[in-house]
Amino acid sequence: MSAGLVAQYAVIALLVTASFVYTLRKLAPKTTTRVQAAVTAKLLRPQRSAFAQRLGRFVQPKGATGDCGDGCGTCGTCGPTPAATDASNAQPVTFHPRRK
């Protein structure tokens, strides 16, 4: 196997892995956060090396701040209001006769 073919397979494997992780984070954010927290807990143990602990702090998921910008969605007030219930957008329908 040539070095070029190995490099090509490595790039393809990297792209497929990145696509899988991106899709998983979009479709199952709570699951990925839970897995990320489990990996972080194992890396941040005191008996681990300094490099492993530094990697654990880097991988650690960001906590919810209670701010509407963090996307937690637990309170249900961050989303847009439905247009059907918003009375300020209501406009009357006016029919005009055809011009001859």
| Structure confidence by residue, pLDDT tens digits, 30-68 | 899 899 899 999 999 999 999 999 999 998 887 755 566
d(CA 38, CA 4): 37
Residue 77 has pLDDT above 90, yes or no: no
Split at pLDDT 50, 70, 90, the class of 18 is very high
- If phi > 0 it is left, if psi is from -120 to 50 it is alpha, else beta; for residue 18 that is alpha
Residues 6+ apart with CB under 8 A from 12: none
Alpha-helical (H) ranges within the chain are 3-27, 29-43, 50-59
